[in-house]
């Protein structure tokens, strides 16, 4: 009989154990200790004792599911949303907002210290409204053949099943009010079985609805959507594929304001989800940069100019570099719209060899960057080469922020200030911004 080598599998102790959480991670999981090993327990708060069962065990940590909570933390609150615990959109509605922010700030401080050896404070936190903060959301659509019903909502945690969402308190009220009537409208379409997803966006001049459909829509369905758009004062856009966008009704182009400027955008463009935090974030970045009339500023990963345009009003010149062509085109359009002629936008791949790109040959004395989750490893060495006085790094991933910080620190820069941005309350997303300076002065 042939025998095949099989490595020893780590057996999981399925017995019930009792633990007490002493911390909370950024994802809202309780952090406990058992026999010298860290145990993560979803739904457990610091100070709470519980009976748990291990579900995954590694050499240095384990995960467990809550069996029975034996005590309650004073930081435990009643979730506002009736779908919490089933819907995977929020993870921390049972946690008091102060503890959420404190835990995320502590995680950010720890990651920076672990990667760089520098002790920082991520406070004061840039605050958000507790609820009603999201101006953009993408909802899944799933047709159940047996029930002959279209379900619209968010996915369950670690599942492809859609939770039918009738309320969503984290959405801005104008979008939350659309949930039930929109679900009913889409359910009544002939194409209900062949819909992909729907995206809701709140521009300053009204709500947008972007519907992904897998087959061409019949005239009857388009009429129903037009009627819905009129009734709810919304602009409807149809997406037959990932590259086309068809406006269904004659609505004005969407826009939002930042720092008193008007930024027009395409419904598919990235815009910051939390308007309140975005306004504060832009103001904080400009304050940290200490913008002066003779400054030349570089804005990397600039999008359509969320930072670029406000900066331009205070400096000699600003250059924005972005890898998405449509965002660059919108940035150029918005610069003209706001009568700003000291901005140059470049469409370049910042993950490629940037040293040969035309913007790289220009001089700058201050730099701002706002990369995606992968960070900015490809541009850090060039930023050092530019030798700017100040660098502001805005991040949606504290791990890559901490990694990229080392390049600046090793080049003689100092971390002056750190802020945790409460961009996504009740979720595990952690956003932040850091000010670096070549001169160790207060900031």
Residues 105-128+274-437, CATH architecture: 3-Layer(aba) Sandwich (3.40)
What is the band of 183 on the pLDDT scale with cuts at 50, 70, 90? very high
Phi, psi of 177 (to 5 degrees): -65, -20
Cβ burial of 202 (10 Å; 0-12, 13-18, 19+) is buried
Cβ burial of 116 (10 Å; 0-12, 13-18, 19+) is middle
Res. 5: pLDDT tops 80: no
Bridge partners of 256, per DSSP, are 263
Residues 136-255, CATH architecture: Beta Barrel (2.40)
Report the CATH fold assignment for 16-69: OB fold (Dihydrolipoamide Acetyltransferase, E2P) (2.40.50)
Res. 202: pLDDT tops 80: yes
Question: If you average pLDDT over each of 146-150, 154-158, 395-399, which comes out highest?
Answer: 395-399
90 is in an annotated binding site: yes
80 is in an annotated binding site: no
**Structure confidence at residue 12 (pLDDT):** 61
What is the band of 313 on the pLDDT scale with cuts at 50, 70, 90? very high
Catalytic residues: 396
| H or E segment to which residue 382 belongs | helix 377-386
What is the band of 25 on the pLDDT scale with cuts at 50, 70, 90? confident
Tracing tokens 């457990």 back to the chain, one arrives at 44
Bridge partners of 84, per DSSP, are 87
Q: Which two tokens stand for residue 204?
A: 């300053």
Distances (CA, A) of 84 to 76, 90, 152, 292, 329: 14, 7, 16, 47, 40
Comparing 288 with 243, the larger pLDDT belongs to 288
Res. 11: pLDDT tops 80: no
What is the band of 285 on the pLDDT scale with cuts at 50, 70, 90? very high
Res. 13: pLDDT tops 70: no
330 is in an annotated binding site: no
Q: Which of 372, 376, 428 is nearest to 406 (CA)?
A: 376
Tell me if 16-69 shares its fold with 136-255: yes
Per-residue model confidence as pLDDT tens digits over 363-410: 999 999 999 999 999 999 999 999 999 999 999 999 999 999 999 999
The pTM is what? Answer: 0.92
228 is in an annotated binding site: no
Quick one: DSSP state of residue 222? Answer: H
What is the distance between the alpha carbons of residues 85 and 284, in angstroms, rounded to a whole number? 35
370 is in an annotated binding site: yes
pLDDT exceeding 70 applies to what percent of the chain? 96
- Report domain extents, the chain: 16-69, 105-128+274-437, 136-255
Q: Which of 2, 5, 50 is nearest to 30 (CA)?
A: 50
What is the distance between the alpha carbons of residues 361 and 71, in angstroms, rounded to a whole number? 62
Contacts of 378 (CB under 8 A, 6+ apart): 350, 351, 352, 354
Other Cβ atoms within 10 Å of 73 Cβ, number: 19
Task: Report the SS3 class of residue 422.
Answer: coil
User: What would the DSSP string read from start to end of 90-126?
Assistant: -S-TTB-HHHHHHHHHHHHHHHHHHHH-------S-B
């Amino acid at each position: 009989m042939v025998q095949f080598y099989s490595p020893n599998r780590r057996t999981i102790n399925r017995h019930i154990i009792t633990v007490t959480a002493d911390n909370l991670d950024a994802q809202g999981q309780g952090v406990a200790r058992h026999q010298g090993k860290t145990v993560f327990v979803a739904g457990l708060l610091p100070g709470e004792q519980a009976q748990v069962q291990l579900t995954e065990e590694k050499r240095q940590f384990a995960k467990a599911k809550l069996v029975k909570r034996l005590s309650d933390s004073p930081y435990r609150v009643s979730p506002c949303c009736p779908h919490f615990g089933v819907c995977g959109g929020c993870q921390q509605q049972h946690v008091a907002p102060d503890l959420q922010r404190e835990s995320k700030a502590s995680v950010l401080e720890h990651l920076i210290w672990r990667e760089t050896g520098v002790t920082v404070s991520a406070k004061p936190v840039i605050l958000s409204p507790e609820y009603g903060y999201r101006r953009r959301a993408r909802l899944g659509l799933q047709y159940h053949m047996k029930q002959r019903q279209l379900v619209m909502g968010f996915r369950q945690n670690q599942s492809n099943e859609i939770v039918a969402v009738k309320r969503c308190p984290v959405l801005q009220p104008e979008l939350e009010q659309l949930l039930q009537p929109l679900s009913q409208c889409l359910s009544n379409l002939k194409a209900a079985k062949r819909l992909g997803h729907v995206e809701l966006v709140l521009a300053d001049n009204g709500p947008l609805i972007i519907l992904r459909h897998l087959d061409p829509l019949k005239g009857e369905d388009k009429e129903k959507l037009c009627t819905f758009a009129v009734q709810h004062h919304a602009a409807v856009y149809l997406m037959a594929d990932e590259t086309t966008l068809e406006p269904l009704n004659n609505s004005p182009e969407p826009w939002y304001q930042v720092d008193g400027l008007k930024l027009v955008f395409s419904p598919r463009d990235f815009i910051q989800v939390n308007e309140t935090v975005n306004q504060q974030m832009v103001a904080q970045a400009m304050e940290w940069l200490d913008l002066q009339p003779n400054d030349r500023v570089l804005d990397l990963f600039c999008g359509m100019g969320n930072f670029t345009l406000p900066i331009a009003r205070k400096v000699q010149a600003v250059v924005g570099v972005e890898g998405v062509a449509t965002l660059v085109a919108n940035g150029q359009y918005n610069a003209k719209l706001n009568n700003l002629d000291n901005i140059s936008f470049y469409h370049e791949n910042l993950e490629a060899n940037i040293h040969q790109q035309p913007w790289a040959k220009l001089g700058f004395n201050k730099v701002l960057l706002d990369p995606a989750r992968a960070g900015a490893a490809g541009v850090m060495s060039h930023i050092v080469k530019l030798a700017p006085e100040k660098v502001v790094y805005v991040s949606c991933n504290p791990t890559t922020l901490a990694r990229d910080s080392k390049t600046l620190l090793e080049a003689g820069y100092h971390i002056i200030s750190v802020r945790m941005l409460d961009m996504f309350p009740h979720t595990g997303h952690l956003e932040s911004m850091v000010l670096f300076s070549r001169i160790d002065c207060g900031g």
